[in-house]
Structures are given as C-alpha cells and as structure tokens.
Structure 1
C-alpha cells in the first residue's frame, strides 16, 4: 500500500495544459485582476473621500468592495503564476490557507449581501424611520457579523477537511484549492465530512436567500403601491445594482457547494469558480459605479477637484 503515504503537497493542474491558451488566459486574467483591484480599491477611496456617500448603503458597499478584493487576491495571483509555469506545486498548509480564506471571503460576501438587502428594505419600505433604524451601531453590527459568520463558516470547512487523510495521488484537478476539489482527493471515509459540508453550506445559502427574498418581497410590494413615477424610479434604481450583483453571485456558489460530490464535474466546477472568484468580483464595482448616480456624481466631483488643483498649481 505504498500509495497510502500521506501527502504534504498538492499539484494544481490549472485551467489548461495548452501552452498557447495559457499565455492568452494569463493576459486575460491579469487584466481582470487589474480591473478588480482598481475598481474595488477605487470605489472604497471614492466613498471615503466624498462625505455625501457616508451613509449606511455605502458603508456596506465599502465592506463588500474590500471583501471582493480579498476574495480575488486569495485566488488569482496563484492562478496567474500557474498559467506562466504550467502545473504548480502547493504545500498542504498553503493549500489549507488558500482554501480557508477563499471560503471565508465568499461566505462574508453572501452575508454582507443579506445585510445590504435589509438596508434596502429599510430605505424603501420605512424611509421615515431609516436614520433612526440604521444607526452607526446597527450598521457596524450588520457589517461585523458577516465577517464573524463567514470566518466561522470557513473554520468549520477547514476543520472538517483537516480530519481527513490525503494519500497518493495528490494531483488536484483545479486551478486553486477549492473545498470540493480537495475533498475529492481524500482517501478517508468522506460521508460525514460531505454531510457537514452540505449542511453548513445549505444552511448559509438558505439563510442568506431567505433574508434577500423576504426583503425584496416587501420592497416590490411597496414599489407597486407607489403612485409617483419619480418615487417608483428612485426605488427601483436604489435596488437595481444590489439585486443584479446578488443574482450573478449566488448562482455559481450555490451550484458548486450544494450539489452532492457524485454529481461534481471538475471541468464544470472550474468554469463556475472562474466566475465567482474572478469575473464577478471584477464586475461588481462596475455595476455599482455605472448604475448609481450618486457614485457617478462623486467621481465627477473628484475629477473636477483634481483638475482645479492641477490648474491652481500651474498658475503658481
């Protein structure tokens, strides 16, 4: 039973073994990552600099942008390095760290989406009580709790996988240490671990979806009762960006973590992982920036200030 030697490292096969595609994908993913970094950090900076955006909605958006940046950074640098050198070796502990942070930030993102849904419910359905309901203390709790729940969720997954044994072969058919892909390599009895994984993932997904669906049920009911076309359009525009990002984020994540291991296709998981770990974090800042008048106005003011400062310096 020489194959039962416990492994200390994994080999990541990456997305493709074709040299031509690897170079093309490296260029594409580098551009995606740069757009993500500029978009998320730029949006955070814009919100911090403009006092008009110092309200609950943009406080949550700042946290969401930070989590998007961290989630993408936990995965993409290693992926881009793998595209340059081909199959990559990653130590067991490095794989555990990558898996933990990726799972944690994905979970935090989900819970923050639920907090933002409640914030939108309060803004649309109870506008007169908004300032008294969404106080600084409430907003802080609604932002901190997702981090606590997300990292608790990830620690359960990490502890769950630590109890497994990993034997030869140690080739990971993925481009990063995703939870289902790592569990597929275990030579232990995985039934209890898979049950825990699906129970925790399903509970988190159901909780987040219930909060979002109930919030938007009340929101749409309130919007349909509005008689003013201006109020109707304002309410819709307030929720459109959040609802768009929730729709494109929840689908791939739920599909990946909720299906049984017997139904897993590594090729399908890879494609879905590209979307929820790379493409979607890049799109979110663009969606919130392009579909939000307040953000666009804040950006225009910042550009005008920069131009005015430049002209003032030139005159001096």
Structure 2
C-alpha cells in the first residue's frame, strides 16, 4: 500500500531516503528551507553537490513550504542536522496528525540539553509514535542501490515493524529493535570515534592505531549506553559495531574527513569549512563528554576528543596521553 511520506531535509540522506521510498511505491514530498536548493532539485532531478549522479524519480515532489510537505503525511522522515531536530519537530507539531509516525535518520545528541533526539521528538510531539532508523548506511550508497542493512527502532514493536515494511527493498534490509536508547547512542557516539580515526590518519598513524581506536571506542560507547539504559547486545550489532566500522574506514564519512584535516594541522573551523557539510561528531562530543562526567563513565577517547576540539589540545599529545594511561586489564 502506498503511503504519503514527508522527508524533512534535502541533504544527502534526505534525498537518498526520498529515492528509496519513491522507488518503493510511496508518495514522497521533500522539504528544504532553502529556495535555491529546491529550485536546483526540481531543475536537475538530482542533488548536484550532495549526491551527484543519483537521479531522483519524477514522482518525488519538492517544496520550501513545510506545511505543504507535511500535509496528509502518514510518515515523516527527519533527515536534518541533529541540532535542528527540536525546532523542526516544533514546527511539525502544528501540522501533522497524532496518527503520523515520525522517524529520524539523524545521529546526534542535543548540545544544550544532552538529550537524545528521540527524547526531543517525544517532548515536542507527545502524541505521535517516534522511531529511529540507524545503521551503517552512507547516503551515497543507498542512493546507488548498493546492498545496505539498517535497524528501525521504536519502543512500540508494531511501529518498528511498520517501518520495516515501508523501507525494506531487495537491497535495503531493515531489522527491528525496541532498544531505542542503544540504537540511537551507537549511531551518535560512533561519530566521535570516527573523527578520532580520521585524526589518526591525518597524523600518519597506521591500521594498528585505527583498530585500537575502534575497539576501545566501542567499549566506551557500550559503557555509556548501558549506563543510560541501553542493551549491551545492541552495541555489537549494526548500529554499534556496524556503524562504527563504516564510519571509521570510509571516505564517504564526513567525520573521518574532518578528522584527517585536523590531524594534518588544520583548525577545527578550517576542517569544517573544507568538508562543507554537517560533521555531527564535533557537536556530539561536548554532550557526550558531559554525560560521561555526570554518569561517572570512563570514556578516555571521548575526553581526548573534547580536549582537541574544545580546548585546542595538540592531537599528538592526546594520543600520547591515551597510550600512557595507567595499566589496566582489558575488561576493566
């Protein structure tokens, strides 16, 4: 059955979701607040700067009027920078019905409140069913129909199963999970580790270093996740280890690309300007650092990332401090 779907955000993930959902037989409307972006999408039927070469089906509609996009929507897909989640949900609260399912593809933690995006969505849309779609899923590959697996997470299993049916194709496999906290934290926190993996690459370190960062990174992600109520098993799955692997190793990853530039000596601001896309790991590091302190969870890699990004610490000194910490057993 065809569904009316509004995609909020016309960046790389928003366009990739629109292509996928349209090819799956749904009626898709995409919103962007930028008139020039909408004009470009209408004229070219592709996002020439974010997803060049990925053709958008003619049936996908584009608008800079969020009311038009949201009208009669049965599902809203949020594909916006994580720090804009609250304002976009607030705008949608006046436009969608209580029956509309709202699912976010964004990965982050709100800087000002240290809240998960699902918590923000529930606060701003208390009458709606809320879900998260996450996993190792670069938009560039989704748009090219390259085999991809993700997780639809909701505390209501029937909502997760509905989204599984909505998104699933022969090349886009969707699993379900009710551990929203675990799924969301895995997706958000791996961006910090990917940023650090990029810094390691920029410093000229090797595969050994990156393997250590990824392995110890998932350990501290899991520690914070469990402390916040997530299921430990979730972090060994697609939205934990899976998302960490793809983001730390691929040049599609804007977090890794920004990290490489920082490791090469660029300032954080210079790196962000050169990547010229939202680098979620930078914004997520601060609330993750604060949550770890509040919950008394050991997150040494995150602590050093915070020192590099917000206190100007030399990345080589950060690596040195990580390597010369007190001796421990591996499972400590």
Q: TM-score, normalised by structure 2?
A: 0.28
Q: Which has the higher helix share?
A: 1
Q: Which has the higher strand share?
A: 2
Q: Choose 1 or 2 for highest CA Rg.
A: 1
Q: TM-score, normalised by structure 1?
A: 0.29
Structure of greater relative contact order (alpha carbons < 8 Å, 6+ residues apart): 1
